């Protein structure tokens, strides 16, 4: 693909301004495109782990948005977040960012292409709007117990990034872990104003246990946190030299993007043509080579970090009872249990005499696993995707920009849904070829369009939508509208919708 983009690549290196307090800003960049397969059945393709409250009241994304708040950094932090996420998650992501009270720009990936293309389009956004800037790149699905410790390490990294280095945070390991990559430390940096940093000597893939023990005992290796601090221009020059196909595809995808308020919709075909690669593989592992365009620096951090990549990692970070049990969500009972993790969304989960287990209950699936085997949840998800694909894509409760719906019950030729429409929102003007619908209002007020007529429904009132009749449901009120919808017909799939008009641009 590189040949087709050859003429679009500027052959001159990007200009790097001398850093000063007034000429450069720090830009929080959040990468929110992950899927969180190993946290199934809570994490699903359409509602991945970064959008879920797994360790507190805030979702992991919302916690990440606040991670730089309240610290006096060496350079000014820009008020606007840059968030890169999958287009399919745009409305839920935007809702959560608004609820956090943050200014933001959402760069929408039409499909997943891993973290290197995601960071490239974020750098292009900063260069286009600011000329250059220091990016603090944070995955949206990690956790830190010690925020001040994290912020202090970031500030050290910002100082080195301002000098043109590509900085990564390395977590001081607390145990030999086989689920993390490692960073090998080079010589300590010396000189005026230099604090607690090393040259980056290399990256190591997830090691077997015996090798991980050697790494920890040597004190020369840190866990790879996946958090990077660097100037946008430094990243773009590195990508241009080492990954010209990513550079070309992302440059065109950004140049052809369409802005829609806080959304930036990247061009589909150009972004699709980009190789899928991680920041580590694409650039970081090449640092230190003779032909590298920049040098890598590692800043150690001790701040209670976890990548929350599995149910066991959540058990480790959560507060435990006297028997090392952890419970989340709904009603949970432990009787003679130890080292057991339970996540319950609705039903009572009672664990009797269990040891080292993970139990995760949702409306439509239950996971039971030994804590030592939770890395293999992904294998189960692969099987579920083949046999019962819907259980890997959506929850029973599905979120939409207008509200949400919950599939309460279904059977042969019928389905029952609980639908909530936000104040001022409305469904598309639509019709169905294969089903009729009954609507019963249980809360709020509904404005119904049915064929040529429009009318209001209040609580405890109902209406009938015959098969093939154009209809729309709106909430003109100030409180959420809640209805029960009973569908009946030969086919009840979500794709039996013909839309004539839609506020959200769905076809």
DSSP assignment of 77-107: BPSEEEEEEEGGGHHHHHHHHHHTT-EEEEE
Q: What is the separation, in whole angstroms, between the first and last Cα of the chain?
A: 30
Please state the φ and ψ torsions of residue 178, each to the nearest 5 degrees: -95, -5
Q: In this structure, are 442 and 351 located in the same domain?
A: no
467 and 425 in a common domain: yes
If asked whether residues 374 and 473 sit together in one domain, one would say: no
Per-position pLDDT tens, the chain of length 507? 333 323 233 333 334 444 444 468 999 999 998 877 889 999 998 889 999 999 888 999 999 999 999 999 989 999 999 999 999 899 889 989 998 999 999 999 999 999 999 999 999 999 999 999 999 999 999 999 999 999 999 999 999 999 999 999 999 999 998 888 999 999 998 765 556 899 999 888 889 999 999 999 999 999 999 999 999 999 999 999 999 999 999 999 999 999 988 899 999 999 999 999 999 888 888 775 545 567 899 999 999 999 898 999 999 999 999 999 999 987 899 999 999 999 999 899 999 999 999 999 998 999 999 999 998 999 999 999 999 888 888 888 887 778 889 988 889 999 999 999 999 999 999 999 999 999 999 999 999 999 999 999 999 999 999 999 999 999 999 999 999 999 999 999 888 999 998 876 665
* Cα-based angle 298, 232, 136 (whole degrees, multiple of 5): 50
Residue 205 lies in a domain: yes
Q: Copy the structure tokens of residue 195.
A: 């604090």
CB 492 within 8 A of CB 415: yes
Contacting residues for 64 by C-beta, under 8 A, at least 6 apart: 30, 50, 138, 139, 140, 141, 142
- In 10 A of CB 217, how many CB atoms? 10
Predicted local distance difference test score (pLDDT) of residue 227: 96
**Residue 41 belongs to a domain:** yes
Q: How many helices (H) and strands (E) does the chain have?
A: 12, 30
Domain of residue 287, residue span: 3-306
* 176, 308 Cβ separation under 8 angstroms: no
Residues 6+ apart with CB under 8 A from 450: 463, 465, 469, 470, 471
Asked whether residue 280 is domain-assigned, the answer is yes
Please report whether residue 392 resides in a domain.
no
Last residue of a domain, one of 306, 323, 347: 306
87 and 106 together in one domain? yes
Assess whether 349 and 415 both reside in one domain.
Answer: no
Residue 343 and residue 247 in one domain? no
In this structure, are 223 and 245 located in the same domain?
Answer: yes
Q: Does 289 lie in the same domain as 264?
A: yes
**Domain end marker among 260, 275, 306:** 306
Q: Is residue 294 part of a domain?
A: yes
Kindly state whether residues 359 and 462 are assigned to the same domain: no
In this predicted structure, what is the pLDDT of residue 505?
65
User: Residues 46, 124: one domain?
Assistant: yes
Which CATH number belongs to the domain containing residue 423 in this structure? Answer: 2.60.120.10
In a domain, 411, yes or no: yes
Q: How many CB atoms lie within 10 A of CB 180?
A: 23
| 505: in domain | no
| Same domain assignment for residues 222 and 82 | yes
In a domain, 51, yes or no: yes
Last residue of a domain, one of 306, 333, 365: 306
* Number of structural domains found in the chain: 3
pLDDT at 17: 41
Residue 192 is predicted with a pLDDT of 54
Residue 193 confidence (pLDDT): 55
- Residue 413 zone, left/alpha/beta (φ > 0; ψ -120 to 50; rest): left
Query: By the 8 A CB rule, do 106 and 83 touch?
Result: yes
Residues 41 and 127 in one domain: yes
């Amino acid at each position: 693909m590189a040949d087709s983009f050859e003429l679009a690549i500027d052959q001159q290196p990007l200009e790097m301004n001398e850093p000063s307090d007034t000429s450069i800003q720090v830009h929080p960049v959040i990468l929110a495109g992950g899927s969180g397969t190993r946290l199934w059945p809570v994490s699903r393709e359409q509602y991945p782990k970064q959008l879920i409250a797994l360790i507190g009241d805030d979702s992991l994304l919302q916690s990440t948005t606040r991670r730089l708040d309240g610290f006096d950094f060496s350079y000014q932090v820009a008020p606007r977040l840059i968030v890169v996420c999958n287009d399919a998650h745009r409305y839920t992501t935007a809702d959560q960012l608004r609820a956090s009270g943050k200014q933001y720009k959402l760069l929408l990936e039409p499909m997943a292409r891993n973290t290197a293309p995601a960071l490239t389009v974020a750098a292009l956004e900063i260069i286009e709007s600011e000329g250059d800037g220091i990016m603090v790149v944070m995955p949206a699905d990690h956790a830190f117990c010690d925020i001040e410790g994290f912020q202090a390490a970031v500030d050290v990294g910002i100082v080195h990034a301002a000098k043109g280095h590509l900085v990564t945070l390395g977590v001081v390991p607390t145990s030999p872990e086989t689920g993390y990559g490692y960073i090998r430390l080079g010589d300590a940096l010396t000189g005026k104003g230099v604090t607690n940093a090393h040259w980056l000597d290399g990256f190591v893939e997830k090691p077997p246990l015996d090798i991980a023990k050697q790494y920890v005992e040597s004190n020369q290796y840190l866990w790879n946190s996946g958090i990077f601090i660097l100037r946008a221009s430094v990243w773009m020059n590195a990508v241009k030299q080492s990954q010209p196909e990513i550079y070309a595809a992302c440059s065109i995808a950004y140049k052809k993007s369409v802005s829609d308020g806080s959304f930036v919709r990247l061009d589909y075909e150009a972004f699709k043509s980009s190789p899928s690669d991680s920041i580590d593989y694409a650039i970081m592992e090449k640092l230190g080579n003779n032909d590298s365009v920049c040098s890598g620096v590692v800043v150690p951090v001790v701040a209670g970090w976890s990548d929350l990549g599995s149910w066991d990692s959540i058990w480790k970070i959560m507060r435990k009872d006297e028997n090392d049990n952890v419970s989340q969500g709904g009603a949970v009972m432990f009787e003679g249990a130890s080292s057991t993790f339970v996540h319950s969304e609705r039903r009572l989960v009672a664990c009797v005499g269990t040891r080292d287990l993970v139990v995760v209950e949702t409306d439509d699936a239950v996971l039971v696993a030994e804590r030592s085997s939770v890395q293999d949840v992904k294998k189960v998800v692969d099987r579920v995707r083949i046999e019962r694909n819907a259980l890997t894509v959506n929850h029973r409760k599905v979120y939409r920009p207008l509200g949400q719906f919950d599939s309460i019950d279904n059977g042969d030729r019928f389905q029952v849904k609980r639908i909530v429409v936000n104040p001022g929102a409305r469904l598309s003007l639509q019709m169905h070829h294969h089903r009729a619908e009954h609507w019963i209002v249980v809360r709020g007020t509904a404005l119904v369009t049915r064929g040529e007529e429009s009318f209001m429904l209040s609580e405890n009132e109902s209406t009938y939508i015959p098969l093939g009749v154009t209809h729309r449901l709106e909430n003109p009120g100030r409180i959420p509208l809640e209805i029960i919808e009973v569908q009946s017909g030969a086919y009840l799939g979500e794709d039996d919708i013909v839309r004539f008009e839609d506020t959200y641009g769905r076809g």
